[in-house]
Amino acid sequence: MKRQSIVAANWKMNGGFALVEEMSERLAHISLQESVNVVVCPSFPFLSALSHSFIQHELADTFAIGAQNVNEFDSGAYTGEVSADMLKACNVQYVILGHSERRSIYKETSTQVAHKVKQALENGLTPILCIGESEAERMAEQTETVLAAQLQPVIDEVGISAFANIVIAYEPVWAIGTGKTASPAMAQETHQFIRTFLAELDANIAQKTPVLYGGSVNAKNCEELFAQADIDGGLIGGASLKADEFTVICSAAKGTN
Ligand code: PGA
């Protein structure tokens, strides 16, 4: 069974025009294994710039653009929000949803995340659905319960078959931006749990859904993480702000599984 590998850059509230240009220049010279997709997710104001830059460097067919959030409604009086339609107008193909920073700082619930996933799918955007447990939850051996509780509302909202068009990113909260990475074996065990959880509903879909690892991935640890059977690439925060390091991580993605 072949699965897509994806390496996505999550710039968070960092980066700007200079990084857009630098990233395009580096990506223009990268060598990737077959069936690796690279997605760059800048802040909203730089989506159009990234799109123009990809076109200018003739990268638009090779690399994809992602947003870091989308509103769950079509349009209307939602000051400060951005709709799926608006993202599509900027050539966005992916959207990060349910990131732990949105869940914890902006109090997004799993139900709201599920609505956003639905809205993204209905508008032809591929959700990168983030799930992950806190350190306390892992210590209390609640990891699987927490991940299941984050996945279930999405399954209830869009159905298991929709996972053919969803990318999951497993990001243990305690590993995000901390320099602490889950060991490859620990990450693999959790990824396997996620795949088994999906397989209980649809074994075929479970084999197809890419499950990315995120949390302090860097140029040094990426190879060992990506070598795990159920890790299909990564969602990269801090290390994606350095174009050189990010391209090394992209090149380490193994392609097909
Ligand atoms: P990090 O962030 O790579 O800086 O840990 C990952 C993420 O939050 O997506």
pLDDT tens sequence across 214-250: 999 999 999 999 999 999 999 999 999 999 999 999 9
Instruction: Note the pTM of the prediction, 2 decimals.
Output: 0.97
Indicate which residue's Cα is closest to atom 6 of ligand 1. Answer: 237
Say whether 115 is catalytic.
no
Looking at the predicted structure, is the pLDDT value of residue 255 above 80? no
What's the pLDDT at 253?
A: 95
Contact 215, 171 (CB under 8 A): yes
Q: How many CB atoms lie within 10 A of CB 90?
A: 17
Cα 65–Cα 34–Cα 31 angle in degrees, nearest 5:
70
What's the pLDDT at 51?
A: 98
Q: Is 171 in the pocket of ligand 1 (CB under 6 A)?
A: yes
Instruction: Give the model confidence (pLDDT) of 93-132 as tens digits.
Output: 999 999 999 999 999 999 999 999 999 999 999 999 999 9
Instruction: Give the model confidence (pLDDT) of 136-145 as tens digits.
Output: 999 999 999 9
Q: Which pLDDT band holds residue 171 (cuts at 50, 70, 90)?
A: very high
The rounded distance, in Å, linking the Cα atoms of 107 and 146 is: 16
Q: Which of 101, 171, 191, 245 is catalytic?
A: 171
Block residue for tokens 């990737």: 32
Q: Which atom of ligand 1 is nearest to the CA of 235?
A: 9
The rounded distance, in Å, linking the Cα atoms of 40 and 82 is: 18
Q: Is 68 in the pocket of ligand 1 (CB under 6 A)?
A: no
Best of 69, 94, 128, 171 for a ligand 1 pocket test (most atoms within 8 Å of beta carbon): 171
| Domains with residue ranges and CATH for the chain | 5-252 (3.20.20.70)
- Written as one letter, the residue type at 202 is D
d(CA 224, ligand 1 centre) in Å: 17
Indicate which residue's Cα is closest to atom 9 of ligand 1. Answer: 237
Element (H, E) at 65: strand 63-67
Q: How many CA atoms lie within 13 A of 223 on its CB side?
A: 6
Q: How many CB atoms lie within 10 A of CB 197?
A: 16
Q: Which pLDDT band holds residue 182 (cuts at 50, 70, 90)?
A: confident
